[in-house]
Structure formats: structure tokens, C-alpha cells
Structure 1
């Protein structure tokens, strides 16, 4: 057997594999001999079938199968030995005229080669690393929400701002007939709110849906319509009041603190606010870190310049797609995936250069911490180590879960690398301003 490579350019090559009869003949003979021992052919006793007949019936198929196996094995071994970093898989050059009656064969494969490039983590322009804080306003609002949630409803004869009204929304043309409870503080604008103020049981209030709620999701729930229907819905509806309640705020006492955090864990309003602030900022940190990860990823893709074997990759996409693709469709798929492929190559280089490999013990520890956090949400604050290990073992026995957790852990490693090596500037910001700045 002989394997040669012709480099077309820095990103494309053709590998030629020459297979001679002596490369496969012994294996073919062995397989046919085994066939002869087990073949059941009418007119012959088992094991007594003439070899000529076995060759006539099975020889071509066995030979083709063995040549293909040998071809794949030798090609894969060659790529490993030559340390060729290929993109996609080798693509066989079309050969419609293979003469399987010959003794020797030649096959050619196109290769797309990964480019050589350098990754610079520290750019000239600093990337913002947000530190999101829960300000006094947010904490106080959360305290009030908790008081409302655990407070008690008191029935009223006449509605006022801040009350909760139960009633039925109707619109015969759209088939809307939904009984629900709305909080007047979710109604948008004084004009709409004033339509409810002073209302009594059995009153019928008429208004336009457009601009009724600040959030279309609230309108969707109130009218029981789909998300698409709620968006820009502009119709007239009636609301028939059936019940008016005000919510009496719960006292900020030890009984409430124990309900929220367990006996004795929070003992004062000050501690309550500290706990709310810490919990909120822990959640904000996850959003800030995801934003940082996205921003550094975008920077790396934009700033790390290299060419790809685009034509080869389009051919590969066309050849390996689940559905048949035209050239234009393959080009379109390539355009969609190019950015992701570039980052995969960049990430791979960073993993190699900074030795960010994931070890099994790290993955196991990560899984156990994840399980511990999930159990804490359900009140299991001190699970036994054996229980955690058993659950982790079951999770890590699932390849899909291993892949998912490995990706999450690698993202954490990449994030730590970015924080250490990238050019970052820390910006402290409230959550409200973070949303405005990042999402508009």
C-alpha cells in the first residue's frame, strides 16, 4: 500500500491511496474460507462446498468490503500519523469507473486543512465586564413583593389604586371570554387606571386593549390569547367586575423570615435585605458572565483573521447533509455556520495553548456541585456525600449529559481565561440600567 499527498495550497490537499492485491488478498481468502465452512448451499454438505463456488457467489462482495475497510483504516491512520488537522472529513473524488475485476486500486480524497493563525486575547479596546448590583430601590421593591405575596386579601366594596380585581374580559368578535384577576399596578397609564378606580362589583368597564398593560405577556394572560395575537392587539373589550380585594402586607417578623429561609437563618429586616441583595446579585452575576462570554467571543471572531477552505467545506456540507442540497443551499448553510466554525477553531487553539483540558474528577466535582445546588432549591441543604456521588454517577453514565456538562465546564474555564488575559474594564451598574444599556 502507498499513500501520497499533494498540497494544492495551504488549505487544500489531495491524498492518493494505492492498494495492491497483496494488501487484501490474505484477508479475503480467510473470510471466504470461513464462509465455506458455514455456508448452506443446496446439493452440498456443510463445509464441503467447493471453494470455486464460494468465490463465485461471495468473492466480489467480500473483496470490495475488505478494500473499503482497508481504505478507511489506512486513511485514518495516515491522518493521525501525519498530524493533519482537517476540517470536516476527507471527501472521496468521484470514481464511476472503478474496475473491481482488477487486482490493484487507486483512490483519491480531497482534504480541507485547518489554517494556521494566532489568537490575541488582549485587544487594544477594553471590553466591558459588568458588575450588576441590586440597589436600594430594587431591594425595597422585592421586600414589598414578598409582603404582598404572604399578606392576606381583604374584600372591598370600591376599587382603588393598588387593589386586585377579579372579573371577566369579553369580546364576542374575537371569542374572548376569560375570567381572571388583575392587579391595578400592572395597568399602564393613569387614564386606564382611573377607569378602574371607584368601580364596584357588577360594574362593566370598557376600554381598548392597545396600551392597556405595560407588558404584552400580561395582556396575553388576561385575555387568554396567543403571544402573536396579543402583540399589537387593538380591540375594544369589556371587563365585568366580580370581586374587589386589597392585599394587606404581611408583617416583617420572625414568622415570615422562617417561612422564607428556614428557622433562625434570618433574624431581622436588615438581614432580610442583605439576603435579598446577595441572592439577586448572584443571579445577576450569571447574566453578566454570559454577556462577557458573548462579547469576548465576538471580539475573538472579529479580530482573529484567517482563511478557510470555503469551497471544500461547501462540498462537504452538500455531501453530508441529511437532505439533498443544491450548490446554492450548501453555500447558504456554509454562510450560516462559518462564524461558529471560526470560533470552534479559535477555542480549540486556546484550549491547546492554555492546557484547558477537562479531567474526569473535575467533571464529577462540577456535576456534584450542580446537583447540590438543585437539591438546595427544594430545601435539601446538607445532602450526604454518598448520595451526591450516586446521583453524579448516574448522570455521568449518560453520554448526552457528559457532553452537556463538559461544554458548560469548558465555558467556565474559557471565562476564567478571558478574565485573566483579556483587556477588560469593570463597570458597576444597577440591573435596571444594565437592561437598558445592553438590551435597549
Structure 2
């Protein structure tokens, strides 16, 4: 009968020593030999009639090793389960000499493994965390800008021969050049659609009278104001905060000149946007738009609370880790390619050392969420995953008109997704994480602070930039 001993070799780092008696594996080995002899196909012998001695000579060593290792694995798993040893990852082999395994001379064998123990830790009192809840001011200007955006989005476009007003719409192609105006090889090239009024006054003057096919040269920092530069830079894949972005030069080719006739604010337009028919007047429309803007910024504010929660818990919760074991484990994982991936060069000890702080932060968050989930019995039901798949589908289809939940193809899609193991796992993790934050929200007591939308957006952008 196998015996297992456990001894400490470092902080939360222990050694398991397994003494395997030959009676633990021999019955299984002999059974494997018999089963193999029944199905072995060897030239000159009928199936099932191969002499046992030949089978043992040809396949015995590999079957012997397989059975010994299977027995060791079974004993270790049973020991950890029986003694409720809570570990990270899997036990790692230590000092095990496989050359001692001799099918001709079965014996007792010793095996050694290292394990990393999961730590106990105390959760912070969420009610005492210093969390700020941002109330974004929804101004009349924001409402009017959104109303105008919707009027433009659903408006009618007519072609024009040449640029003659600030409300002209230009389809343009941005092509990156150097300071001398020469095209940059493999540089940025991007189509866009812009109102003339988005450009700085000097560029508007240069555009006046231009027709389809005409081009001008621009420098981003001079061609746009701060607000416009932000979304133009983002569309071009550039960082607005990078000083080099402002100095980027482009050839701007006009591919079409148009005039946008804005939608009138009438009941026909209101019903187009809100088919329920509950918007009758311009005042109703603006109230609806204001509520949607409020809902958007309220969601952004909640995301900010979630972000603060994450950083407060990760940065301030004290958790010890078996770092030596985890480095050893990362080394073994690093040498094994993931399914479907090519073999990557092994990371050096220096690289693993450099990555440890980030890895331990991720691990800390995993332990914190596991504790919240366990202590509060947070679960995700299959119906919630089905509903998640349905909502994703509707969002992907853009809330297509006439699409309802009871259409057969919608249910077929959802059932197909429910059979996709990876999709179900990803959806489960996302929903579980969402529930963790929703639970945490009920415990925190954020300090309410009013803030302008521009200031809030800038704060979030700077925070994201800092953490990337």
C-alpha cells in the first residue's frame, strides 16, 4: 500500500514523497498485458494468440511505466482530495529517476513532487474602500449635439460639384506623406467622411472650390481642433496624446462632395427612431435623447467604479504566494505549446522574473473573485448563458427591424452556441465576472462627485494610458 508524506520546503511550497508498493501497480500492469495480447496484431500470429512472453518483451517496458505512473497519479490525486490540500495548478515532478523502473524486476519505488499551496487571506471591507462615484453633467449642449447628429445620420445626401459651405460633406482619403509631401511607403491610408466645418478655418478656406479628385496637404495638429483631432487620430490608429501625431502630414484627396439635408424634427422621424410611438413632440424627442445620454454616461460611471474596485482590491489586499513554485510552474508551461499553437522559444529565467509582478496581480484577482463567488454562492444558470447569446446576436444584427425572439432561426443559433464549449466557457466567465462586480456594488459606498463629460472622458483616457 502506497504511503505519502508531506514536508515544507518554503513559504506555501511543499514536497510530496510517495512510496509506491509493487502491489499497488502490478495487478494493473498484468491486466494491461492481457488486454494488449488480445488485440495485438503481430505478423505470424493469429489475433489473440500472441505468446505472453513476446508481448511482455515487446511492449512490457512501456506498459510497465504507464501503469506505475498511472498508479502514482491516482495516489497523489486521492491524497490531495482526502486531505483537502488546496493547491495551485498541478504537482510538479522532483528528483524522479525513471531509469529505475525495471519490468523484469518489479520493486517499490519512490517519487517526489513539489506543490504550491493556495493561501488564506482576509477580504477587505468594501464599505470602507475609498471609491468615487462620478455623476456626469448632462447639458443642453450635449442633447442638442446628439439631436443634430441623429438628424445628420438619417438625413438625405445630394451630390455637389464643388465645396462651397461649412455644411458640405466630404468623402476623403487620408494618405500619409513625409514633410516634403512624398508618400510614405506602407504608411497610413484611410477613407473617411467629414463635414467641412470639422476642419480648422485655414483648411476650410483651402478646401473652398475644390472638386472630386482634388487634393490638399495637411498637418494633423494644424488641420483640426482638439475635439476633432481626438476622433480623427483614433480613426487613423494614432494616439492623440503622442506629440508625433500632431506633426503627421497627409495628402487629403476628395473622393466626393455632398450636401446633407438634415431630417426634420417631426413625428415621422420620431417614429422612425422610436417605433413604440411614445415620442410625439420635439420636447418628447429631446427628453428621450437626454435619457439615452444619461444611461450611456451612467454605464461609463459604473465601469469606473468597477475599475476602482479592481485596483483597490488588487493593490491593497495582502496575499502571500508560493513564488518559487509558481516560477517553476511557469517554466514548465512555457516549454509546452498550447493546443493549436506553434512551439515558442522558451522564456529565460530573467523574462519570467520580469513577468512575475503582472502574473501575481492576475492571480491575486482570481483568488479574490473565487472567494467572493464561494462566500456568496454566485452562480450562472444555463438560461442566463442562453439569454446572453441572444442579446449578443441582437446587438450584432443592430436590432434589426422585425427580428423577434420566437423566430426559429434565433433559437437554432442559440442552441448551436450552447454546444460550443469555448463559447459557453467564455460567456460563463463574463457573466460570472459581471455578477461579482454587481455584488461588490451593493457593498461599496462611493462618494458622489459631479463632473463634466469632457473631464470624465479625459480622466478615463489618462488612466487607461497609464495602465497600458
CA shift for structure 1 position 367: 4.0
**Against the structure 1 CA distance between its residues 133 and 367, is the aligned structure 2 distance closer, same or farther, given a 3 Å change threshold?**
farther
Shift of 1:342: 0.8
Indicate yes or no: 2:370 matched with 1:348. yes
The whole-number CA distance in structure 2 between the counterparts of 1:67 and 1:247 is 78
1:119 equivalent in alignment to 2:130 = no
> How far, CA to CA, are the matches of 2:332 and 2:271 in structure 1?
63
**Following TM superposition, by how much is the alpha carbon of 1:258 offset from its aligned partner in structure 2, in angstroms?**
2.5
Aligned equivalent of 2:272: 259
Flag the 1:423–1:257 CA change in 2: closer, same or farther, 3 A.
Answer: closer
The answer (yes or no) to whether the contact 1:161–1:193 under 8 Å persists in 2 is yes
- 1:193 equivalenced with 2:215 (yes/no): no
Query: Cα deviation per residue 1:206-249 (whole Å; 9 max; x = unaligned)?
Result: 6544421332663797xxx8759993444485x68797654343
SS in 1 for 2:15: strand
Of 153, 158, 166, which residue of structure 2 is paired with 1:161? 166
The answer for the alignment partner of 2:420 in structure 1 is 398
TM superposition shift of 1:14:
0.8
Q: Does 1:331 align with 2:353?
A: yes
Aligned-pair CA distance for 1:99:
0.9
Match of 1:277 in 2: 290
Aligned counterparts of 1:130 and 1:179: Cα–Cα separation in 2 = 36
Report if the CA contact (8 A) 2:13-2:324 is conserved: no
In the TM superposition, what is the alpha-carbon distance from 1:23 to its structure 2 partner?
0.9
Unaligned runs of 5+ in 1: none
Scaled by the length of structure 1, what TM-score is found?
Answer: 0.85
Q: What secondary structure sits across from 2:416 in the alignment?
A: helix
SS at match of 2:222: coil
* 1:174 lines up with 2:151 in the alignment: no
SS where residue 118 of structure 1 aligns? coil
Aligned counterparts of 2:191 and 2:384: Cα–Cα separation in 1: 52
Q: Could you say if the C-alpha distance between residues 39 and 199 of structure 1 is closer, same or farther in structure 2, counting changes exceeding 3 Å?
A: closer
Report deviation, 1:315.
0.6
Does the 8 A contact of 1:212 with 1:219 survive in 2?
A: no
Deviation of residue 39 (structure 1)? 3.4
The 1:397–1:286 alpha-carbon spacing in structure 2 relative to 1, beyond 3 Å, is: farther
Aligned counterpart, 1:305: 318
Aligned 1:417-436 pairs, distance under 5 A? 417-436=439-458
1:430–1:403 distance in 2 versus 1, CA, 3 Å: farther
Q: Is the 8 A contact 1:159 1:244 kept in 2?
A: no
Q: How does 1:180-219 map to 2 (within 5 A)?
A: 182-188=194-200, 190-196=201-207, 199=209, 208-213=219-224, 214-215=228-229, 218=232
Question: Residue 129 of structure 2 contacts residue 312 of structure 2 at CA under 8 Å; is this kept in 1?
Answer: no
Correspondence for 1:56: 57
Q: Secondary structure at the match of 2:126?
A: coil
CA contact (8 A) 1:315 1:330 kept: no
Per-residue deviation at 1:309?
Answer: 0.7
Aligned match of 2:3? 2
State how many pairs are aligned.
434
Aligned 8 A contact 2:116 2:325 in 1 = yes
The reply on whether 1:316 has 2:329 as its aligned counterpart is yes
For the Cα contact (< 8 Å) 2:220–2:229, is it kept in 1? no
Pairwise CA distance, 1:319: 1.2
- Deviation per residue, 1:127-167 (Å, 9 max, x gap): 01234454321111111122223145474876233333567
Offset from partner CA, 1:23-75 (integer Å, 9 cap, x none): 11112112212233333444544444332222222222111111111111221
Q: TM-score, with normalisation over the residues of structure 2?
A: 0.81
Check conservation: 1:91, 1:111, Cα contact below 8 A.
yes
Q: CA deviation at 1:5?
A: 1.3
Whole-angstrom CA distance in 1 between matches of 2:75 and 2:31: 20
Comparing 149-158 with 329-338, greater Cα deviation is found at 149-158
Q: Distance in 1 between matches of 2:20 and 2:58?
A: 23
For 2:138 and 2:400, the matched residues in 1 are separated by 25
Which 5+ residue runs of structure 2 have no aligned equivalent? 337-343, 463-468
Shift of 1:304: 0.8
| Cα distance change on mapping 1:139 and 1:362 into 2, 3 Å | same
